[in-house]
Amino acid sequence: MERQGELAALESWLGEARAGVGRLALVAGEAGIGKTSLVRAFCDQHADAARVWWGSCDALSTPRPLGPLYDIARMARGVLSSLMAGDASRHDRFSGFLEALSWPLQPTIAVIEDIHWADEATRDLLVFVARRLADVNALMVVTYRDDEVSGDHPLRQVLGSVATLTVARRLLLPRLSPSAVSALAAARDADGQQVYRVTGGNPFFVTEVLAGGTGQVPGTVTDAVLARAGRLSRSARSVLEAAAVVPDRAEIELVRTVAAGDTDAIEECVQAGLLLATDRSLRFRHELARLAVEDSIPGTRRPGLHAAVLAHLADQPAGDPARLAYHAEQAGDREAVLAHAPTAGELASRLGAHREAAAHYERALAHSEGIEARVRAELFEQHADQCTAIDEEAAALRSYDGAVAAWREVDDPERTATVLARRAYALWGVGRNDEARASVEDAIALLESRPPGLALATAYTYSAHLHMLARQIPQAIELGQQAIAIAEDHHDVALLGRALNIVGAAQWFVDPDQAEVTLARALEAAHRSGDDTIVGVVMRMLGSGSGEVRRYDVADHWLREGVRWCAEHDLDIHGDYCLAWLARSCFELGRWPEADQVATDAAARPSQHTPTRIVALTALGRLRVRRGDTGADEPLTEAWDLAHATGDLQRLWPAAAGRAEAAWLAGRAGDIPGLVSDTFELAVRLGQAWPIGELGFWLWRAGELRTPPEGAAEPFARQIAGDWRAAAEAWERVGCPYETAVALADGDDPDELRRALTILGGLGAAPMADRVAARLRGLGVHDLPRRPSRATASNPEGLTGRQLEVLGQLVEGRTNTQIAAVLHISPKTVGHHVSAILDKLGVADRREAARLARDHGLIET
Amino acid sequence: MPTYLIERNIPGAGDLGQDQLRDVAMASNKVVADLDVPYTWIRSYVAGDKIYCVHETEDVETIREHARCGGFPADLVVEVAAEIGPQTADG
């Protein structure tokens, strides 16, 4: 069929892979469009010139975790197959696959079919590999139904993450043209126009219709398939039905047992073009055909077929628990569900397929009535934890409640308390703060009369965390320290890392020097525990916590380090948050071009994590306000709305301040009290110095306050007290040039006003500069510098902040290794940035990029 | 059993390091063991952009199967008709 162009595209990418430039081909199109046929034809053509590995995601209601990787391991043999057979960690499996992909003798074509059905772990694997494929001699091909990946389909985020990578290439398969259909129809003496009208040019449908060969055109693809199946003998028909109830791979042995069919019956199905026999298993020519046959089996007969499949699979060694659980449920076999679903859940959870794990535990719970309380408690607890991992809070809370009741029934206070503590955190997440506090207090009350153990330490840690989030700092520190002591006694480094992280986070507000020391210990414990996520969490806390109290040298270091660590370890949510915070600290430090790029970048991250968006949009909006750019309202309003929903001071305060500043610069000082009063009161209630200072400052500007509010941070307090000179000095020490200039602008010393004007001009802060210039003119000064324009108005290529930095280094003529050292990132990452820059600028090499950057003023030299 | 000469086109083969050559040899041994038919890998010469291999087995198809399973290109497979050397002149 007419797919020469697509084959040529795949071929050229394989050529690039052969030269050591890895490629990821995303092959998309509706069901039946011929994705598999295309990729199979391509692989067959190159079977002698490349290693071909093939894995498929399956249509089980809860797919096997890493199913396609198991398929591939069977073909790849070697280290990968022993990794997959053993109990290696998920990271080792991912790395093992990546290593196996590079092979010096030939390129490798690794195909993963139907990733719209992929489990969560396989989706993570795709992102992991795609990000590291650039210098591997492999072509990875994935196929998916693009019309089924809409709205909140989990694959969307994966596609968003990989589509922008330089390794990614997309191939969208169109339907057949009317003339192609007519040509095919003519060969079978059918009416081409009619076939096209019914099928719309869908190749699978066209083939099914034409295979009917009766001259009569069936109205739907189901009719076409069933018409073909209807001509089979009785025994062949039962083979077909047996194969149809197995959505993943129907082994020939299995079909024979279930259908009691002989080789002739199987051969008849193959001859009729309904089944394909490959590698000791049978599959339908297409999933659409399997569904058509499965749906045609009467509901009364289906459980019996599944029971037979289950019986056969249960007899095989090392059966896949996800398959067993599926057939057990379809057969209505309660005992078998309870035997296999929890095992499947455990395996899925270990591989990071939390969505699938939650589904398995839910399946088990649906059949759990009347079983032993201890077993039911474990199921509820596992289900709740998996739901928490995928942000399904409502379901998590239902199961935490079930777990608490069941653990109480068996009278196990330690387990009851641990669940109560975790439940508290989930309650806080949905804004039920009072219940959350009550839950964690219940947990502590259950344990305090007993010898201190890890359950109590866990409860203390959660309680400390909730106090920290509510900015009840002394309580957070005290409880956290009790948790630290117990964790140390019991040598539990993971718990120690978590507890130290909370205490350090709380200390930023009362003793920043100590906070840095505590968090350094937390980081050390996190590294020792081997849990990459805790390391990322602590780095994020080091960066954002120090940023919030304006210790920018610490913040800048850890935010960049956090971005790097999280990128290397695929901790997107934490990495994105560090990136957004980096934008904020660049903004406050007056590095506005970088702030602009980084904030834009962070706001557009595919994770769409709410805290990240709030921080990024606030920085972006405030930046636009200070520059006098258009379009400041939109990000600030969105940030405010999102922050308002959280009710957290740390989210609300910067957005409120930004909106107040916008109103003031626009001459609407009267709007300010309405924009900041509530948040100001919250800050006063919690005794937080920087928000009290900044929001108090705006109320003072609006004439609502006369004296500095109690507890306000020093620079703001000085300015409100009228000591603009001391305020400016304090801001200079902190490192904020814009605030320095604003303080100077309150004075009446022409020299200091000129200094303010110079600072604002350098920043490109036009609205504030206009005000200062007007004041100077009022004082009779007339030889003023030109009005500032935006420092980097010219970045039409849309380079990100990081890319601009790398480009700056290229202009200096530095090598990747030198750049890596300067920017604290790996040389490999520098390489990725350089190729992205070359792509965006449309130049062939780094020398040309540097020349272009100089000529067009992309870099301030 | 017939002996076969196999020509494998591998750009940069001559630059492969000891570690890579060991990986290649391990992969080949593993495939030979898994094939479960009489198969002897006698010797290979790595030269320029090629590897030339001498294998013994029943037929060409098995040579190709070994190549496919191991990920070795097999651009040319020919049966060795005779083996000669300086001593052939004495015969």
Asked if residue A689 is part of any domain, the answer here is: yes
Rounded to the nearest angstrom, the minimum Cα separation between B10 and chain A is 6
**Pairing assessment for the beta strands A138-144 and A108-113 based on DSSP bridges:** parallel
Cα distance from A19 to chain B (closest Cα, Å)? 9
How far apart CA A129 and CA A24 sit, in angstroms, is 9
d(CA A515, CA A503): 8
DSSP code, position B46: E
Question: What's the per-residue H, E or C state across A698-764?
Answer: HHHHCCCCCCCCCCCCHHHHHHHCCCHHHHHHHHHHHCCHHHHHHHHCCCCCHHHHHHHHHHHHHHC
Secondary structure of A121-182 in HEC code, one letter for each residue: HHHHHHHHHHHCCCCCCEEEEEEECHHHCCCCCCHHHHHHHHHCCCCEEEEECCCCCHHHHH
Is A347 within the bounds of a domain?
no
**Does residue A819 share a domain with residue A685?**
no
Q: Give whole-number Cα distances, A694 to A226, A500, A798, B90, in Å.
A: 72, 29, 33, 103
Mean pLDDT of chain B: 93
Closest CA to A657 of A613, A627, A612, A702: A702
Tens-digit pLDDT profile for residues B9-39: 998 899 999 999 998 999 899 899 988 899 9
- Map out the domains of chain B as residue ranges: 3-82
Q: Which of A150, A174, A198 is the last residue of a domain?
A: A174
Phi/psi for A322 (5° steps) reads -65, -40
Boundary residue ending a domain (A424, A450, A476):
A450
User: For residue B11, how many other CB atoms are within 10 A of its CB?
Assistant: 12
- Whole-number pLDDT of residue A860: 56
**Which of chain A's residues have a Cβ under 8 Å away from the Cβ of B20?**
104
The per-residue DSSP string of A550-579 comes to: T-HHHHHHHHHHHHHHHHHTT-HHHHHHHH
What does the alpha-carbon distance between residue A791 and residue A763 come to, in Å, rounded to a whole number?
A: 7
Cα–Cα distance for residue pair B78/B63, rounded to 1 Å: 10
Q: Tell whether A21 and A168 lie within a shared domain.
A: yes
Q: Find out whether B10 and B24 touch, Cβ atoms under 8 Å.
A: no
Interface test with B, best of A72, A74, A80, A105 (most B CBs within 10 A): A105
Within 8 A of B73 by CB-CB distance, chain A residues are: 48-49, 105-106
- The alpha carbon of residue A721 and the mean position of all alpha carbons in its chain are separated, in whole angstroms, by 46
Q: Are B18 and B74 in contact (CB under 8 A)?
A: no
- Same domain membership, residue A195 and residue A136: no
A565, A527 contact by CB (below 8 A): no
Chain A partners within 8 Å of B16 (Cβ): 104
CB count in 10 Å sphere of residue A63: 28
Laid out side by side, the sheet with A138-144 consists of A51-56, A108-113, A138-144, A23-28, A168-172
Burial A445-478 (b: 16+ CB within 10 A, else e): ebbeeeebebbbbbbbbbbbbbbbbbbbbeebbe
A170 plus A207 within the same structural domain: no
Per CB-CB distance under 8 Å, the chain B contacts of A104 are: 10, 16, 20, 23-24
Question: Does residue A82 sit at the B interface (CB-CB below 8 Å)?
Answer: no
Query: Between B23, B64, B73, which is nearest A49 by CB?
Result: B73
One domain, residues A298 and A388 = no
| A841 within a domain of the structure (yes/no) | yes
Q: Which residue, among B16, B18, B19, B23, would best test binding to A if mutated, counting the most A CBs under 10 Å from its CB? A: B23
What's the Rg (C-alpha) of chain B?
A: 14
User: Which CA distances in Å does A811 have to A7, A673, A807, A842?
Assistant: 40, 48, 6, 16
pLDDT tens-digit readout, B34-65? 888 999 999 999 999 999 999 999 999 999 99
Flag whether A190 is in a domain. yes
Find residues 13-32 of chain B whose CB sits inside 8 Å of chain A.
Answer: 13, 16, 20, 23-24, 27, 30
Residues A214 and A137 in one domain: no
Q: Taking CA atoms, what residue in B is nearest to A108?
A: B71
List the single residue in A48, A78, A108 with the smallest CB-CB distance to B74. Answer: A48
**Contacting residues for A450 by C-beta, under 8 A, at least 6 apart:** A413, A456
Q: What is the pLDDT of residue A669?
A: 95
How many domains are there within chain A? 5
Instruction: Assess A47–B contact: CB distance below 8 Å, yes or no.
Output: yes
Is residue A248 a contact partner of residue A59, using CB atoms and an 8 Å limit? yes
Q: State the pairing for strand pair A23-28/B50-57.
A: unpaired
Q: Does residue A686 form part of some domain?
A: yes
Residue A105 has its nearest CB partner, among B64, B68, B71, at B71
Distance between CA atoms of residues A720 and A698, nearest Å? 9
- Same domain, yes or no, for A735 and A814? no
Least Cα distance to A173 among A137, A146, A192 occurs for: A146
pLDDT tens digits, one per residue of A659-694: 999 999 999 999 999 999 999 999 999 899 999 999
Spatial neighbors of B61 by CB under 8 A, at least 6 apart, are none
- Find out whether A682 and A652 touch, Cβ atoms under 8 Å: yes
Of B20, B69, B75, the CB nearest to A104: B20
Element housing B78 (H / E) = strand B76-79
Closest-CA distance, A74 to chain B, in angstroms, reads 11
Cβ neighbours of residue A399 under 8 Å, at least 6 residues apart?
Answer: A365, A380, A381, A383, A384, A387
Which band of pLDDT confidence, cut at 50, 70 and 90, is reported for residue B87?
very high
Using only C-alpha atoms, chain A has a radius of gyration, in whole angstroms, of 32
What the block records as the tokens of A858 is 């992309």
Amino acid A76: pLDDT: 82
Low-confidence ranges of chain A (pLDDT < 70): 1, 213-216, 607, 785-798, 800-801, 856-861
Q: How far is A51 from chain B (nearest CA, A)?
A: 5
d(CA A789, CA A792): 9
DSSP label at B3? Answer: E
Q: What is the pLDDT of residue A453?
A: 93
Give chain B positions within 8 Å (CB) of A49.
73
Residue in chain A nearest B51 by alpha carbon:
A105
Domain presence at residue A589: no
Beta carbons of A51 and B8 less than 8 Å apart: no
Q: Per the CB < 8 Å rule, is B10 touching A104?
A: yes
A747 alpha carbon, distance to own chain's centre: 49
Assigned token pair, A702? 């609006």
Looking at the complex, report in whole angstroms how far the Cα of residue A88 sits from the nearest Cα belonging to chain B: 22
Could you tell me if A106 lies within 8 Å of chain B, comparing CB atoms? yes
Residues near A272 by beta carbon (within 8 Å), at least 6 away in sequence: A228, A229, A231, A232, A236
In a shared domain, residues A187 and A253: yes
Strand partners, B78: B5
Handedness of CA A779, A784, A787, A788 (dihedral sign): negative
Residues B56, B9: contact at Cβ < 8 Å? no
Which alpha helices (DSSP H) does A589-648 contain, by range?
A: 592-603, 610-627, 633-646
Could you tell me if residue A196 is inside a domain? yes
Structure tokens at A572: 């997107």
In this predicted complex, what is the ipTM? 0.85
Residues A146 and A185 placed together within one structural domain of the fold: no
Q: Are residues A285 and A406 in the same domain?
A: no
> Do A166 and A195 have their domain in common?
no
B23 contacts in chain A (CB < 8 Å) = 104
Q: Is CATH 3.40.50.300 the right assignment for the domain spanning B3-82?
A: no
- Assigned token pair, A694: 């900044």
> Do the Cβ atoms of A48 and B34 come within 8 Å?
no
CATH number, position A811: 1.10.10.10
Q: What CATH number has the domain bearing residue A45? A: 3.40.50.300
Task: Kindly compute the dihedral angle of the four CA atoms of residues A565, A567, A570, A574, in this order, to the nearest 10 degrees.
Answer: 70
Query: Of B8, B13, B71, which is closest to A103 when you measure between CB atoms?
Result: B71
Name the residue type at position A65.
Answer: P
CA distances from B85 to A513, B2, B5, B77, B91 (A): 82, 19, 16, 22, 11
Residue A35 near residue A27 (C-beta atoms within 8 A): yes
Q: Cβ distance A535 to A526 under 8 Å?
A: yes
The DSSP secondary-structure symbol of A88 reads: -
Residue pointed to by tokens 């350089």: A834
Nearest by CB to residue B73, choosing from A78, A105, A108, is: A105
Predicted confidence at residue A787, as pLDDT, reads: 62
**Domain range spanning residue A322?**
180-336
pLDDT score, position A836: 79
Q: Which residues of A829-858 are buried (b: 16+ CB within 10 A; e: fewer)?
A: bbbbbbebbbeebebeebeebbebbeeeeb
Residue in A48, A78, A108 closest to B73 by CB? A48
Q: Which residues of A touch B8 (CB under 8 A)?
A: 105
Contacts from A333-338 at CB under 8 Å and sequence distance 24+?
A333/A307, A334/A367, A336/A310, A337/A363, A337/A364, A337/A366, A337/A367, A338/A364, A338/A367, A338/A368, A338/A371
Q: Is residue A383 part of a domain?
A: yes
Q: pLDDT of A276-317, one tens digit each?
A: 888 788 989 888 899 999 999 999 999 999 999 999 999 998
Residues A492 and A457: their CA atoms lie apart, in Å, by: 10
